[in-house]
Structure 1
Amino acid sequence: MVCRTKLVEVKVIVVELVVVVVVVVVVAAAVVVVVVVVVVAAVVLVVVVVVVVVVVVVVVVVVVVVVVVVVVVVVVVVVVVVVVVVEVVVVEVEEVVVVVVVVVEVVVVVVVVVVVVVVVVVVAVAVAVAVAISVAAA
C-alpha cells in the first residue's frame, strides 16, 4: 500500500511538472509571437513612413517640374508674341532692324528659360534636402 501511494504521488508530481513545463513553453511562445508581431509592426510602420515621405518628395518634384514647364511655355509664348508684334511693327521700317530684334528676343528667351530652370532646380533640391533632414531627425 505504501509503495503504491508513493508511486501515485510521484506520478502526480511528474504530471504537474509536465503541465508547468508546457504552460511555461506556451507562455514563452506567446511572448515571442507578441514580440515578433510588435517588431514587424514597427518595421512596417517605418517602411510606410519612408514610402509616404518618398511619395511626398516625388509629388513635390512633379509639381515643381509641371510649374517649370508651364512657366517656360508661358514665357516662350509671350516672347514669341512679342517677337511677332515687334517684327510686324519693325518690318515696315527696315528689315535689318527686324533681324536684330528677333535675335535679341531669342537671346532673352534663352536667358529667361535658363534662369527659371536653375531657380526651380535649386528650389526642388532645397525641398528634397529639407524633407530628408526632417525624416532623418524623426
Structure 2
Amino acid sequence: MLNINHVVVVVVVVVVVVVVVVVVVVVVVVVVVVVVEVVVIVVVVVVVVVVVVVVVVVVVEVVVVVVVVVVVVVVVVVVVVVVVVVLFLLLYF
C-alpha cells in the first residue's frame, strides 16, 4: 500500500531529476555557444591576418615596381645625357 511518504519521495525525486536535466541542458547550450563564439573570433582573426598580409604583399610589389621604373628611367636619362655629351664633344672638338 502506498502512503503519503512514498508519494512525497517520488515527487521529490522527479523534481530533482527534472531540475538536473534542465541544468545539464542549459550548461551544454552555454558551452556550445561559447565554443561557437570562440571559433568565430578565431576565424575573423585569421581572415584579418590574411587580408593584412595580402595588403602588405601588394604594397611591397607596387613599391618594387615603382623603384624599378624609377631606376630604369634614371638609367635611360643618364645614358641619353652621356651620349649627347659625347656626340657634342666629338662634333665640336
- The TM-score normalised by the length of structure 1 is 0.60
For 1:10, the equivalent position in structure 2 comes to 11
* Gaps in structure 2 of 5+ consecutive residues: none
Q: How many residue pairs get matched?
A: 92
User: 1:44 deviation in Å?
Assistant: 2.1
Q: For 1:41 and 1:8, locate their aligned partners in 2 and report how far apart those are by CA, in whole Å.
A: 49
Please give the per-residue CA displacement for 1:117-138, whole angstroms capped at 9, x wherever unaligned: xxxxxxxxxxxxxxxxxxxxxx
For 1:59, the equivalent position in structure 2 comes to 60
Between 1-10 and 70-79, the greater mean CA deviation after superposition: 1-10
Please give the per-residue CA displacement for 1:59-105, whole angstroms capped at 9, x wherever unaligned: 1101101101111111111112112212211222xxxxxxxxxxxxx
For 2:87, the equivalent position in structure 1 comes to 86
Please give the per-residue CA displacement for 1:22-56, whole angstroms capped at 9, x wherever unaligned: 11001011111121122222222222222222112
Structure (1 or 2) with the larger CA radius of gyration: 2
For 1:47, the equivalent position in structure 2 comes to 48
- The TM-score normalised by the length of structure 2 is 0.85
Q: How high is the sequence identity, in percent, across the aligned residues?
A: 70
* Gaps in structure 1 of 5+ consecutive residues: 93-138
Q: For 2:84 and 2:16, locate their aligned partners in 1 and report how far apart those are by CA, in whole Å.
A: 100
Aligned counterparts, 1:13-52, within 5 A: 13-52=14-53
| Mapped pair 1:69 → 2:70 | yes
Q: Which structure has the higher relative contact order (CA within 8 Å, separation 6+)?
A: 1
Q: Aligned-pair RMSD on alpha carbons?
A: 1.7
Q: For 2:21 and 2:39, locate their aligned partners in 1 and report how far apart those are by CA, in whole Å.
A: 27
Residue 65 of structure 2 aligns with an amino acid whose one-letter code is V
